[in-house]
Amino acid sequence: MNNIKGSLILLLVAFIWGTAFVAQTSGAGAVGTFTFNAARSIVGALFLAVVIIIKNVLDNWYSSNLAGQSDKISTEAGFCGNNSGKVISTENGSRLQTWPLGAGIICGIVLFAAMTFQQYGISVYPQGVAASGRSGFITATYVVMVSVVSVFMGKKMHWITGVSVAGCVAGMYLLCMSGGVSGIYLGDVLVFLGAICFTIHILVIDKFSSADSMKMSCIQFMAIAIISTFAMIFTENVTFAGIKAALIPILYAGVLSGGIAYTLQMVGQKYAQPSVASIVMSLESVFAVLAGWIVLGELLKPKEIMGCVLVFTAVILAQIPGMKKGDTK
């Protein structure tokens, strides 16, 4: 059942990212790409740091109480219980103090590149071009890239997963590109480079799946914040009015889309296979369209509805290989 557990977690991630699309678009209209990424990353890192501190305090309190109870029980039984308490406290403290610095920095560098290419690519589309549809479909190509790269890395891909990948891509096309393609723009190239970086990011996280997810995510956003801030200083004109106008989008993107979603992504990928994880997270575009329909009153066309059905079907098919193998991950 681990594969299903991971998929459900990643489904929540896709929902958060999809509903955050409006916030990201609004923020991009008020501040530059690096400014927005720096601000949301700072918010995300601070949020995670607070959560980690609270978690550590609660864990230490629990360990102290457990150690005290163990000492009491051991003493009443006629044994020296101090060793038992110390072992529990020391092991837990050692685990809590371990920060995956290298893993977090590597993930942060890759994610910085992905976020920058995608956000800047969307911003340079000409007026009148369906930027969200084009960028959504192009970004979704990382679904295929993850599966293909995983095969070259020695991981077997079940034929049903291959079918689900094809169905997902077809669904994303109908959902995001129903208006057709009228040429290749600079934004297309930049967003595609972002998709390549997202592919690398997913595979890198899979390599560091044994690390503390929350701490690695916190370090990741600290790295993005530092790099984006330097880039912002040398390339963009930052104003207080712009920051104020983008405050709500920044908070939403930083806390939910950043601090919470990226941490859940790391947790979910500990249980789900990379190819399955990428397919589930591709539902981000589905939720973005649905959120636009519900919140903004945008109506779905028949092709877009068909795309939603295909993508959801692909997600269901992606679970079958894991179930047949006994769900070993």
What was the pLDDT predicted at 301?
67
Per-residue confidence at 124, pLDDT binned at 50, 70, 90? confident
The helix or strand, by DSSP H or E, that contains position 276, with its residue range, turns out to be: helix 274-281
Residue type, 12: L
pTM, entire model: 0.74
Segment 58-74 mean pLDDT? 68
Per-residue confidence at 321, pLDDT binned at 50, 70, 90? low
If you average pLDDT over every residue of the chain, what do you get?
Answer: 76
Closest by Cα among 232, 315, 228 to 278: 315
* Domain residue spans of the chain: 2-52+100-324
Residue 241 has pLDDT above 50, yes or no: yes
Span 282-301, pLDDT tens digits: 777 778 777 767 775 655 66
Span 184-225, pLDDT tens digits: 678 888 988 998 998 899 888 888 877 887 888 889 999 999
| Range of lowest pLDDT (4-13, 170-179, 271-280, 317-326) | 317-326
What was the pLDDT predicted at 217?
85
| Range of lowest pLDDT (13-22, 71-80, 256-265) | 71-80
